[in-house]
Amino acid sequence: MITKGLPLPPLSTIGILGGGQLGRMLAIAAAEMGMRCHIYCPDADSPAFDVSIRHTRAAYDDLDALTRFAQECDVITYEFENVPAATAAHLAALRPVCPGTRALAISQDRLQEKQFFSSIGIEVAPWRPVETADDLSAALAEIGPQTLLKTRRFGYDGKGQVRVSAGDDPAVAIDKAGAGPYVLEGIVPFTREISVIAARDAAGATCAYDPAENIHRDQILHSSAVPGDIAPATAKAARVIATRILDALDYVGVIGVEFFVIRDGEADRLLVNEFAPRVHNTGHWTQDACLISQFEMHIRAICGWPLGSPRRHSDCLMTNLIGEDALQAERLSGEPDARVHLYGKAEVRAGRKMGHVTRLLRPVR
């Protein structure tokens, strides 16, 4: 990664593709460091617009708008991984885009992601590429009987995923999963799901937060507990794997890496589920339980500032406020040691992430 022009001085402009809550919290962190954010998003009601000095409302394939946006930015980042490859390439020719286009491309395609993990010796769930119903039958025979058929692209929060068991009709499963191609994954008998938020700067310095233990409900993240019930050796191994991914990608910025923990005799084994080339919902706890949040860490990394410490000063529990949960925000904010974060979304919808609450449980000594 090029370090020329770094560190960016205060009042530099950070371009952010995507205007959701992650962009909003990045922009707030950037403002606290004296930086300015320019949000690029096609949606009129983007939560990040409210907290940024400038925004462009245009389509991701509007090359003229992208060029004008890039010309106003010193560095460009993104808050979602489905930025079209052509958009990222266009911008990368004009300004530094962090994390780079390779991390973006790999994270967009579950097949490339699995191949990447294998290439650097990281264990994943058993998997097979699938395009047709015949492929699915053959793959099911090899890695069944309990599997998940996942679309290679555009899956999130369990969308684009179908459970397939031996004996199911492969054509029906393919139909249910949506547009292919796919990967078929063996269902992993995990004891818990954990994630690590880690960061790397342009000079190659890295750091990693303590892993969080994550609970999903209806395939949406419900809560993240830190430290959670994670053995120290497992926590260390997870941080090491996350750092290996960062180095292999020559990555700049914050990454979220999700793991399955499986019991293997007396020891834990870690399988990587996926990585997100951005700040991550399972890292929101860092806003209140660490000196430097994942949002500030990302801004520091892409601006070439020192990463700072990922040290956690408190044990904590982060709970998402989904749909009507957000109606409890004011009451929750009255709890001692709790802090409520709302994303400024006007319309409450079932399954929509409206905010989160962080509860500090006890200080770390």
In the complex, what is the shortest distance from the CB of residue 215 to ligand AMP, in angstroms, rounded to a whole number?
A: 9
Residue 247, token pair as written in the block: 């180095």
Q: Is-contact 81 278, C-beta < 8 A?
A: yes
In the complex, what is the shortest distance from the CB of residue 274 to ligand AMP, in angstroms, rounded to a whole number?
A: 5
Residues within the interface to ligand AMP (CB under 6 A): 125, 148, 155, 158, 185, 187-188, 193, 216, 219, 273-274
Q: CA-CA distance, 116 to 213, in Å (whole number)?
A: 25
Q: CA-CA distance, 231 to 238, in Å (whole number)?
A: 11
Judged by beta carbon, residue 163 or residue 236, the one nearer ligand AMP is: 163
In the complex, what is the shortest distance from the CB of residue 148 to ligand AMP, in angstroms, rounded to a whole number?
A: 5
Judged by beta carbon, residue 282 or residue 294, the one nearer ligand AMP is: 282
**Of all residues in this chain, which one has the CB nearest to ligand AMP in the complex?**
188
Judged by beta carbon, residue 74 or residue 185, the one nearer ligand AMP is: 185
In the complex, what is the shortest distance from the CB of residue 177 to ligand AMP, in angstroms, rounded to a whole number?
A: 12
Judged by beta carbon, residue 226 or residue 301, the one nearer ligand AMP is: 226
CA nearest 137: which of 185, 180, 170, 178? 170
Q: CA-CA distance, 312 to 334, in Å (whole number)?
A: 23
CA nearest 130: which of 100, 103, 151, 105? 151
Judged by beta carbon, residue 102 or residue 153, the one nearer ligand AMP is: 153
Judged by beta carbon, residue 190 or residue 305, the one nearer ligand AMP is: 190
Q: CA-CA distance, 251 to 301, in Å (whole number)?
A: 10
In the complex, what is the shortest distance from the CB of residue 103 to ligand AMP, in angstroms, rounded to a whole number?
A: 17
In the complex, what is the shortest distance from the CB of residue 92 to ligand AMP, in angstroms, rounded to a whole number?
A: 27
Cβ neighbors of 90 (< 8 A, separation 6 or more) are 63, 66, 67, 70
Q: What interhelical angle do 85-92 and 63-71 show, nearest 10? A: 40
